[in-house]
Each structure stands twice: as structure tokens, then as C-alpha cells.
Chains A and B, each alone.
Chain A
């Protein structure tokens, strides 16, 4: 399935086409699931990180999770790990996600929890930049 990159503005008037994907997050063993939101596909991120608000929306008390730290270009910040279900289109995957109080986007889809389940081919070339996404099933 090919997903077109999503357009984001820049202060200098240019437009950036970026690999964002529509996902939602569900609480395990419950029917609770977030609304669909855009998350950035980031092969440089170690795991999947979402805003704390995403967890709160499905009734997860964030600070009850395992506290860890993650380093990014903005520095080191605390995150809390919770088992959740990641909805990507029709696919539903059990993952351990990190929840952070400060992120510039709603969520980041990283290697653990996302790239280990999907083969992603980034293609920013041509007139229609986008990514190919294919579910991978491990045996």
C-alpha cells in the first residue's frame, strides 16, 4: 500500500512533504481506542512514542508505567512504557509504547513496535513522494 507523504508548512513559505501515517492506539483488553491521528514514521527512533494525551484518552494513567528515558535532538526526557494496541489501517499490533509529556507531534512510529512489523520503503523522489508499507508476519 502506498501512502503519500503529508504536507507540513515552514515559516519560510516552503512546504515539506513528510512521512506521516494515520494510526490510532487502543487499550489492551478493552474497547477503548483513540481517534485516528497522524504519527511520524521515523526509522531513527528506537521505539514508538506518543504524547501523554494519547494514553489519557484511553484511560491509561501514564505515570503508573515503567519509567525510562529517551534521548532526542531536544535532549533527554522521561517516558513511561505501557502495553497498548497499535491500529494501522486494518492491522492491529500489540506493542509496548512510550508516552512522553513533550513531543512536537502526536506520535512517532519507531523501530521497536512498528518497523519490526512493517516493511517500509521511503520514496521521496518523483512527483508524488510517499512510502510503501507492507505488513510483515514473523514465523
Chain B
């Protein structure tokens, strides 16, 4: 998969994820694998499906530019 296609797939996956939540993307960052209200929720879902490669992210309250 080309870089631009990977970016498009990542954006599409993130836009389907709930806001202000914890999510797991596949290792290639193209698929939403799990999501939950807490980090532990996501870890438990990954363990249940035997996934040890996905990457965990925290989604913000809104998809507006970050200034922390």
C-alpha cells in the first residue's frame, strides 16, 4: 500500500472511532481494531482476539488541531 493510501485509510479509521476514547489501530494503521472508554477496555478486547501488534491511541474530545 502506498503512503498516501495508508494515510487515507488511517484517517478513515480514526473518523469511525469514538471521540474522547481509547482506540487500537492495526499495526499498519489502516484498520480500527478495537475501541473503548478506557485504556484497559481496549487492552482486554485486544487480548480477547489474541492481538499483540495493534497500536493504541487516545482520541481527543474533538478532531480540532492540537495545542497542548
Contact = CB atoms under 8 A, between A and B. Distances in A.
Interface of A: 4, 6-11, 15-18, 22, 34-38, 40, 42, 45, 51, 53-54, 56-57, 72-74, 103-106, 108, 128
Interface in B42-63: 43, 46, 54-58, 60-63
20 contacts: A4-B3, A8-B11, A9-B14, A9-B15, A10-B65, A11-B62, A11-B63, A34-B39, A38-B56, A42-B68, A53-B38, A56-B40, A57-B40, A72-B68, A103-B58, A103-B68, A104-B66, A105-B66, A106-B22, A128-B3
Contacts of A54: 39
B4 to A, nearest CB: 9
Interface residues of B, number: 27
Contacts of A35: 43, 46, 54, 56
